[in-house]
Amino acid sequence: MARDDNHRLSEERGALVRAARDSIARGSKSFAMASNLFDRATRERAWLLYAWCRACDDIVDGQDHGHGATIVSDAEARVAIIAEKTSAALAGEVVGDMPFDALRLVAAETGLPARFAHDLVTGFRLDAEDWRPRSEADLYRYCYHVAGAVGCIMAVVMGVDPADEDTLDRACDLGMAFQLANIARDIEEDDRIGRCYLPVEWLVEMDMPPGQHMKPPFRDRLTVLSRRLATRAALHEASARVGAARLPGRARWAVLAAAGIYGDIARAVAARGNHAWDHRVTTSNRAKLAWVVKAAIAARRPVADRPRDPVLWTRPR
């Protein structure tokens, strides 16, 4: 009987891993490439985690693997479903829904603190409530809930002790850098569905009426703010690179590759200036492969373990 149970569990895990691998291949070529640098166990757990994150995002935004976001009329009800299924998965219950059962496996195999998953659900709730950041601190709080918390989860997946708060802060920094780059790149796309993640105080500072920031007369001023986002992203990326040096070799390689690939998005937005939103910024396969090589070299170099920059926003404890 025990052998049959083990076989069944192995088959279930294999099916979830294959479905998660397909999800990341469809949803993010950058993350899919970086994940292949992990050892097998970490790679599979990264895929499982991605499947859950991607599904939650798609449910809330009415999209398919990050594409075709629409305005949904029942966003809060959708978040309630996500919260219920996530809580069940974290409690070890079989949900019967691939992405949430994927989370169940990750949590069981890594001892994942439930608070990080719940923090991410809070981020989805903010979007469902049509929340807008008023201050820069509000912006960072949002970035934590939708991406920094994922960085913390990934750190645990890669073997970081959940009690190692400083390394978790560095992992959070990488998620923050990714999200700030996303916001800079997607200003026009977000505007099309009635969203804006630029702090109201920034818009007032630049004398841009909220909701009018995409109008042609304001393009020069919008460029100033997108470059500000890119600068903030670079600061968090630099902090994350220090934390990456504490990871096992292959995990360090994968994190550094992802940091470079995604960092290029923020750098490209800044470099394009007023034309940043004419076409969606992407990273070519050649550039991704170049970062894989550069990351392999960087992963072998010693990094000074300096204190985290006190000017950086710090996640809630």
Do 100 and 174 lie in one domain? The reply is no
Rounded to two decimals, what is the model's pTM?
Answer: 0.91
- CATH at residue 295: 1.10.600.10
Query: Residue 210's pLDDT is what?
Result: 84
- Does 188 map to a domain? yes
Query: Residue 104's pLDDT is what?
Result: 97
Query: Residue 64's pLDDT is what?
Result: 62
Report which residue type is found at 110. Answer: T
> Tokens representing 266?
């923020």
Do 107 and 139 lie in one domain? The reply is no
Are 240 and 174 in contact by the 8 Å Cβ rule? The answer is yes
Query: Residue 138's pLDDT is what?
Result: 97
Report d(CA 282, CA 68) in Å as an integer: 16
Are 177 and 229 in contact by the 8 Å Cβ rule? The answer is no
Do 10 and 92 lie in one domain? The reply is yes
Query: Residue 46's pLDDT is what?
Result: 94
Q: What is the pLDDT of residues 37-90, one digit of tens each?
A: 999 999 999 999 999 999 998 888 776 665 556 667 788 899 999 999 999 999
Are 53 and 157 in contact by the 8 Å Cβ rule? The answer is no
Domain boundary among 76, 111, 146: 111
* Torsion, Cα of 92, 66, 183, 168 (10° steps): 30
R_g (Cα) of the chain, nearest Å: 19
Query: Residue 75's pLDDT is what?
Result: 85
Do 191 and 308 lie in one domain? The reply is yes
Query: Could you give the angle at the alpha carbon of 71 between the alpha carbons of 66 and 74, nearest 5°?
Result: 105
Query: Residue 151's pLDDT is what?
Result: 96
- Whose CA is closest to 254, among 240, 266, 265, 267? 240
Report d(CA 8, CA 278) in Å as an integer: 51
Backbone angles phi, psi at 67, to 5 degrees: -120, 145
Bridge partners (DSSP) listed for residue 67: 64
- Does 122 map to a domain? no
- Does 120 map to a domain? no
Do 166 and 284 lie in one domain? The reply is yes
For residue 53, the enclosing domain spans 1-111
DSSP 217-262: GGHHHHHHHHHHHHHHHHHHHHHHHHHHTTS-HHHHHHHHHHHHHH
Query: Residue 32's pLDDT is what?
Result: 85
Do 139 and 242 lie in one domain? The reply is yes
Do 87 and 172 lie in one domain? The reply is no
Q: What is the pLDDT of residues 230-259, one digit of tens each?
A: 999 999 999 999 999 999 999 999 999 999
**Which residues in the chain come in under a pLDDT of 50?**
none
Do 104 and 142 lie in one domain? The reply is no
Burial class (CB in 10 A: 0-12, 13-18, 19+), 252: buried
DSSP 30: H
